[in-house]
Each structure stands twice: as structure tokens, then as C-alpha cells.
Structure 1
Amino acid sequence: MTPTSNIAIQCLGYTPIPVALLSCDEVPRVDLYRKDAETGRLRLYRAAEVPMLPEDLTRLEQSKVGWLYTPEADHGEMQVYIRRKLDQLVGDNSISVRERFGRLNEVVSGILESTFEAGETDEVMQSSAYVASQAIKLLCQNEMTAGDLISLLHHDYQTVTHSLNVAYMMVTLAREMRLVSDSELFAVAVAGILHDIGKLSVSERILNKSQRLQRREERVAQKHPAHGFRRLCERTDISFAQLMVVYQHHERMTGKGYPVGAVGEEIHPWARLCSVVNVFESLVSNRPYRRRYPLTEAFQIMDGPLSAGLDREMYECWKQLILKK
């Protein structure tokens, strides 16, 4: 799997430009549009001939505007621009690792959201590889702690946000436990991003329901590991370990998981790793039917009946990694 992708996705004829990658000395000389928060419509924000000032970028960031849009940029040229700016950001040692990761996460969330919405497996695979290759460069620096990571993540419940968070956490835990070599951490990150790809085959109505699912709806939602397996199993650019993350991340050591009720060592180590952080991430993120739990409360819940289904060593390592000062 090569870390390349169409990372600038056209949206209704407009090409998105990530605000986190803009600098006053290098803004594309095109008309820039901003999406209205209430109506979703694009409105002219800055004409091509008007320079971008530092205070403009500050206001955009304070307003949590992540993307501007242009109808005029060459699509291929914009992909090159975004990739080059991301490379510069990740390699900019004048900025702290924490700040670089925060900016990177803003951009790659938008990249993956576009590709997941399109639902094309090839595009999802390529974007996942690109995102993983960039994230690994920062996650593997000792300056980046697990506490830093948790504080920088978004906690809204969307498939893309959740998948990215799980991927970052999987890398952090795998690295701490020395579960894989450093060269394999890229593959672990990709597996984390892809673990819920089967949800592309589940209705948005079920995924975003604001009340707890009825039993019939639960059965539909619980088919997503099998959907993901079928979507990926014949591809040559995914490993067995990555495929097992997709298929087994809801299996439990006690045999009370799904889709097949695998027990203990029948569950691949990478899938057991994913299970631990997947449960944790779900608890500390907002859900359509509840608010996120604070860290201490999340671990209290995981210390209860949930813990029997998780790999004990992996769970204890993750808990210590998050709670240590």
C-alpha cells in the first residue's frame, strides 16, 4: 500500500483548501469562499486580489473554520499544494510536535471525511495510507505523550473522527508494548483507520440515531465487521493482521463478542489491541444518545464487567499509559 492519494476532493465543483495549511506568504491567488455555518451555503470570503493577513488566519482559526473553498483552482495542482504543505508542516521543527499534530489532525480529518462519504474503497485505502504515513512521523516522537494525544483529539462521534482516534491510540499502545517493530506501526495505523470501514454499508439513520438502538437495529449495526471483511478480503494491499482488525475488533476474550464469538487466542493480537482502545475511545467521545465520560469515569466503567472481555495486559498497559503523570 503506497501512501499516495487524491487528497483534495472536489465538492460540488469547489475545491477545499485547509485553513491549517495556509500562510500569509503563500495563499493560492484565487477567490476563496467560506461555508455558512447555518445554511451550509458557500459565500465569497476573499477575492483573489485581496491579500491574506495574519489576523485573518487568526480569526478563521478562532471561529473553528477548517476549510475554505475555491471554484478556480486546478484540482491536480491543489492536491500537490496540500501534500507539499503537509510535508512542510510535519517536518517543521520550529513548531512543537504537539502543535504540528493538532494542525495535521484538522487537515486529515477533512481528507478522510470526504473519501469516506464517497464510499469508494480504493480511495479510502489510498487516503488511509497517506494519513497514516504522516501521522506516524509525529506519533513516534518521544515528545508526544499519550496525554498530549488525548487532549488533542476531537471527541465528536463520527465514523471518521472515531476511526482516526482509534488509529492514533493503536499506534501509541502498540509502540508502548513493543507489539510490533517500528516499521510495522504504519500498518497498525492503517488498520485502525480502516477498522470501521464496514459502517459504510450501514444506514446513517442507525449510526446517528439519538436514542439507544432497538435490538433489530443492533443486529444490523453488528454486521459492520462482516461488511468490512467482505469489502477488503480480496484486496492484495491489505495484510491478514489488518483484515483481522476489521473483522474481529468487536470480539471478546470471553467469547461474548461478535461477529462469530471468537475466544481468547482465536482473536488476533492486533484486533485485541484495537478492542481496548475502541472501547476506551467510545466512552470518552460524545455519542448521539449521551455525552462523553471523563477519563476516570471511563476507566471505572472499563474496570467493571467490560474488562473480562478485553486483553488484560493490553488494557492495564493502556490505563497506566493514560493515567500516568
Structure 2
Amino acid sequence: MAPDSSIAIDCLGYTPIPVALLSCDEVPMVDLYRREADTGRLRLYRAANVPMLPEDLERLEKSKVGWLYSPNVDQGEMQLYIRRKLDMLVRDNNISVRDRFRKLNDVVEGILSSAFEMDDTDEVMRSSAYVASMAVRLLCQDELTAGDLISLLHHDFQAVTHSLNVAYMMVRLAREMRMVADDELTSVAVAGILHDIGKLSVSERILNKSQRLQRREERVAQKHPAHGFRRLCERTDISFGQLMVVYQHHERTSGKGYPVGAVGDEIHPWARLCSVVNVFESLVSNRPYRRRYPLTEAFQIMDGPLSKGLDQEIYRCWKHLILKK
């Protein structure tokens, strides 16, 4: 990450502080607030002069509190704190790769959520590049299997959660298929994070609807690849492959996808890769109108007519990667 680039961490005047990066010997000496799950309001959790104990951090982790908030933290200092602590986490061989990845995912999901909520494309690009570079360092560890990865992911329905999951899966699959050199995997991860950026231009009422969309609403939702393409196509910090993932991840080799009905090799290899894991991730995660499918049922669905428009070699490789012991 460039020294002058930023991480989106502002939250209504309060600075979010990731619990996963806190340690008892290094807690910012500021008032810490906790967000109430039912109201979303911030309530004082610990005053600046009260020390943080190991059991406090354990309780926060067990209650799945990912972030505390403070009104008295210098933004620049917090930027440096997060970067330094994430780098230490990724490098810490005393912690298992599984645990390092789980903690990393908790933090970067919050970073990306802030960036997307700002609807600032520059910030999304900066945060995506940083998040991707951190994640790839762990995803390339052979001891973290694809099965481990699936078990560690969050499967709740959130746009950022979905985009991160797709990015992680794309990296694992691209590396397994030797589709790109290892030094290009960060670019693949960024493509996965950005693949649904066009949904920022689609009404949340449609995206979060708890029933299946009507045909008119489907047509609106299906414009998101074109929205994403227009948002990014004139930028100089995005590659052709990344742009094609944004534009073509709903295309199908049969020609029955969208937005233009591209067929076969007209679809960029990275976009065909994204198509497979995008369908898979959607099936194994909770959606507004249904609960997630178990792995075996998800693959049964993908083995049916759904698979006809997917790249069969990529799909077979992904299925083998997930199911192998």
C-alpha cells in the first residue's frame, strides 16, 4: 500500500478500532464505545483510564463484536496502527494460518464496508488494493485448504461479504489452475472485490428485497455490470482483465448471460472464473429470500441445468478443490 493512501475508517465522527488487532499491551488510551446490536447506537464500553484485560478481549470475540469506536483517535495514527498490526498478524507464525485468516477477514470486511458506504470509487480502489495484498499473502499458504477457506468465511447476506468471498475463491481457484503467476494473484483478488461495484448504482430496495424479484426489478438489477463498467472504464489503475470481470461475470458460455450475451471465448478467462465462484458463493450463503444451501446440495444444483453456461473445466476444478479431502 502506498504510504499516502488511506483506509476508509471514519464512522459518523467516531473512528472504528478493530477488535481483532487489539492486544492488552497495546490498546489506545481513549474512551471506547460499543455499537448496540438492536439500535445501532454507540454506548461507552470502556473509559480511557480503565485497562483492557485478556478476558475482556475474549468476551468481545465470543460475542462477535468486531469493532469498537472512539471519538478521540487521530485518523492518521489509526491508519498507521491498522497497517502495522495487520502486517504483524499476517507474519505471525505463532498463530495458525486459519486463525490469522479469520482475524484478517474480520478486519478487512470492516475496511471495505466503510469504503463502499462512502460510494467513493477512489477510496474503493485504494482499500481493495490494500485488502487484496493482505489476503493473498495468507491464501497462498498451502496449509489453508479450499475447504478451510469455505468454513472460515462469513455467509451472511452483505454486499461486501459476498465480494470478499468471491475474491478469496477466485484467488484459490486461479492459483490451483495456474491461470496466472503468483505475483498476479493480488490483481485477481481486486477483480473479485470489484466485480459487483455496479450495484452501488442499484436501489437497495431491489438488492435487499426479501422476495424474489419481479421481472421489471430483475432487469434493473441486471444493469449492474454495465454500471460497474461505466464507473471504472476510464480509470488508469484497473487492468483489462479486472474490467472484464466487472462487465462479464454474468455472461454465460452458452450466450444466455448478460449484459450482451457473449459466448465462449468472448468471455475473458478471469470473468469465467468469477462466474463459477460467484454462483457457488451465492448458493452457500444466506440470501434475503432463502437460507444457504449445504455444500452437497449446492453442487447438486450446479450440476444441473445451472452449469450449462459455466466454463466446465473451471467448474470441475472448483468442485474437486472443495470436495477433496
Q: Indicate whether the TM-score tops 0.5.
A: yes
Q: CA deviation at 1:37?
A: 1.1
Q: CA deviation at 1:232?
A: 0.2
**Cα deviation 1:104-138 (Å, max 9, x = unaligned):** 00000000001101110000000000000000000
Q: CA deviation at 1:6?
A: 2.1
User: How is 1:57-96 mapped onto 2 (pairs within 5 angstroms)?
Assistant: 57-96=57-96
CA-atom RMSD in angstroms: 1.0
2:212 aligns with 212
2:239 aligns with 239
2:298 aligns with 298
Q: CA deviation at 1:39?
A: 1.2
Contact 1:276 1:311 in 2 (8 A): yes
For 2:137, the aligned partner's letter is: K
**Cα deviation 1:262-284 (Å, max 9, x = unaligned):** 00010000000000000000000
User: How is 1:106-117 mapped onto 2 (pairs within 5 angstroms)?
Assistant: 106-117=106-117
User: How is 1:1-325 mapped onto 2 (pairs within 5 angstroms)?
Assistant: 5-325=5-325
1: CA distance, partners of 2:129 / 2:2: 7
1: CA distance, partners of 2:83 / 2:308: 44
For 1:253, the aligned partner's letter is: T
Which runs of 5 or more residues in structure 2 are unaligned?
A: none
1: CA distance, partners of 2:38 / 2:271: 40
2: CA distance, partners of 1:192 / 1:273: 10
Q: CA deviation at 1:211?
A: 0.2
Contact 1:166 1:277 in 2 (8 A): yes
Q: CA deviation at 1:9?
A: 1.6
Contact 1:8 1:75 in 2 (8 A): no
Percent identity between matched residues is: 84
1: CA distance, partners of 2:275 / 2:16: 34
2: CA distance, partners of 1:231 / 1:218: 21
2: CA distance, partners of 1:91 / 1:283: 33
For 2:160, the aligned partner's letter is: V
Normalising by structure 2, what TM-score? Answer: 0.99
| Counterpart secondary structure, 1:231 | helix
| Counterpart secondary structure, 2:69 | strand
**Cα deviation 1:72-118 (Å, max 9, x = unaligned):** 01111111111111010001010011100000000000000011011
**Cα deviation 1:15-38 (Å, max 9, x = unaligned):** 000000000000000000001111
For 1:220, the aligned partner's letter is: V
For 2:84, the aligned partner's letter is: R
Q: CA deviation at 1:161?
A: 0.3
Normalising by structure 1, what TM-score? Answer: 0.99
Q: CA deviation at 1:8?
A: 4.7
Contact 2:8 2:115 in 1 (8 A): no
Contact 1:14 1:69 in 2 (8 A): yes
2: CA distance, partners of 1:230 / 1:103: 34
Which runs of 5 or more residues in structure 1 are unaligned?
A: none
Q: CA deviation at 1:7?
A: 1.9
For 1:108, the aligned partner's letter is: V
Contact 1:155 1:284 in 2 (8 A): yes
Contact 2:8 2:112 in 1 (8 A): no
For 1:163, the aligned partner's letter is: S
